[in-house]
Chains A and B, each alone.
Chain A
Amino acid sequence: DTAVSQTPKYLVTQMGNDKSIKCEQNLGHDTMYWYKQDSKKFLKIMFSYNNKELIINETVPNRFSPKSPDKAHLNLHINSLELGDSAVYFCASSPRGTLGQPQHFGDGTRLSIL
């Protein structure tokens, strides 16, 4: 049973396109996150939702828009893709916020912009 699942695993697309990455967790967790991992493997938070409510919105271009239809899903839509968006995007979840709770990560989505 996959706890946090992301689709697609790989995404290759042209600059300027719009794309979405989906994330679902079956752990019953209240909080979900999107992280970006750059080419140097450095992870940085992008967004966090708690019970469908946005609680963290880092300095991310507004071409990136998260959407949480319910607390088990947090999707990431990216408009007008740019070369610098190439990275691995990880979804994660935790039981109740970040305070003192381990996070469960998806396998990542490798986005390559041509």
Chain B
Amino acid sequence: KNEVEQSPQNLTAQEGEFITINCSYSVGISALHWLQQHPGGGIVSLFMLSSGKKKHGRLIATINIQEKHSSLHITASHPRDSAVYICAVEETSGSRLTFGEGTQLTVNP
């Protein structure tokens, strides 16, 4: 079992819909990262958080340390949001990132 689990694995939405991607982890962490990988393959860091909530444009990331759970929300989704979204955690035991398997999001016009 992976230490970082994401759900769903695949998600298809209509333009304008509110989207939620979930991430659960089983280890102690110092921070959690959300990354975006576009069809072209490049990876971009969206958020890094260790508590509470962060917002950037239409994207919102939340984390609940006690429940070991984080969510990534996209409001008013758009076809250009179509990408793989990856959750990664920095474990307190070592200076490395452990990744979830990613969520493939497709937003149809």
Cα separation A45 to B99 with both chains bound (whole Å): 9
Chain B residues within 8 Å of A44, by CB: 99
Q: Which of B35, B41, B45 interacts with A107 by CB under 8 Å? A: B41
With A45-B96, A99-B95, A100-B50 as known contacts, state yes or no: A40 contacts B45, CB within 8 Å: no
Chain A interface residues (CB < 8 Å from chain B)? 40-45, 48, 55-56, 88, 90, 92, 97-105, 107-108, 110
Interchain CB contact (< 8 A) of B45 among A48, A98, A103, A108: A103
- Which A residues lie within 8 Å of B86 (CB)? 43
A98 in contact with B90 given A45-B96, A56-B95 (CB within 8 Å): yes
Chain B nearest CB from A8 CB (Å) reads 14
Asked if A42 meets B99 with Cβ closer than 8 Å, knowing A99-B31, A100-B50, A102-B33, the reply is yes
Q: Are A104 and B45 in contact (CB under 8 A)?
A: yes
B95 touches A55 (CB 8 A): yes
Q: How far is the CA of A14 from the CA of B92 in the complex (A)?
A: 40
A88-B41, A99-B30, A107-B41 are known contacts; what are 17 more A-B pairs with Cβ within 8 Å? Answer: A41-B101, A41-B102, A42-B99, A42-B101, A43-B86, A44-B99, A48-B95, A56-B95, A56-B96, A98-B95, A99-B95, A101-B48, A103-B97, A104-B45, A107-B40, A108-B43, A110-B41
CB-CB contacts below 8 Å: B58-109 with A: 84, 86, 88, 90, 94-97, 99, 101-102, 104
For this complex, 19 residue pairs linking A to B, each with C-beta atoms less than 8 Å apart, are A41-B37, A41-B104, A42-B99, A45-B96, A56-B95, A88-B41, A92-B43, A97-B95, A98-B90, A98-B95, A98-B97, A99-B31, A100-B48, A101-B48, A105-B35, A105-B43, A107-B42, A108-B41, A108-B43
Are B45 and A105 in contact, with the CB atoms below 8 A?
yes
